[in-house]
Amino acid sequence: MEWFLTLLTVLQIVSAISVIGLVLLQQGKGADMGAAFGSGASGSVFGASGSANFLSHATAIFATVFFLSTLGLTWVGNKKTTVPGVLSGSTLPATGEAPAPVAPTAPPPPSAGATKNTLAPAADPAAAKDTGKPVVPK
């Protein structure tokens, strides 16, 4: 795929330089008036109007090659694979598989020497052990 990227880049550079050169070689619309009054344009290599048609067609061809190579470079440039992570904008695996669900873990059982939570109020004040102190729900 790297050779295709190189080919498209070379085509784009060559066609861009060719379009610039061909546009600079063409005559403006006002130059036709001088040829009508006997200017030396009728003795050119392509004839009086032959150069305008050749240069116009060549410019159109090179402009088409330029736009197609630009579209090709854009297409090839967007085909890069991304590595999952924070900076790539995706945290999914690159293979396209969905991540395995994580099973919730149960809290560990209380150990034998663990103390009871004394800050939480008892669920049933009558069932609480009678220590002689009043039970105040919070």
Domain edges within the chain:
12-25+45-80
**What is the chain's alpha carbon radius of gyration, rounded to the nearest angstrom?**
41
Residues 6+ apart with CB under 8 A from 52: 26, 27
pLDDT band at 89 (very low <50, low <70, confident <90, very high): low
pLDDT tens by residue, 40-72: 555 555 555 556 688 899 999 999 999 999 999
Measured from the Cβ of residue 108, the count of other Cβ atoms closer than 10 Å reads 6
pLDDT band at 2 (very low <50, low <70, confident <90, very high): confident
pTM: 0.46
Place of tokens 């060719």: 18
pLDDT tens by residue, 125-137: 555 556 667 767 7
More confident residue, 81 or 35: 81
Measured from the Cβ of residue 15, the count of other Cβ atoms closer than 10 Å reads 20
Place of tokens 């085909």: 79
CA dist., res. 52 & res. 17, Å (int): 19
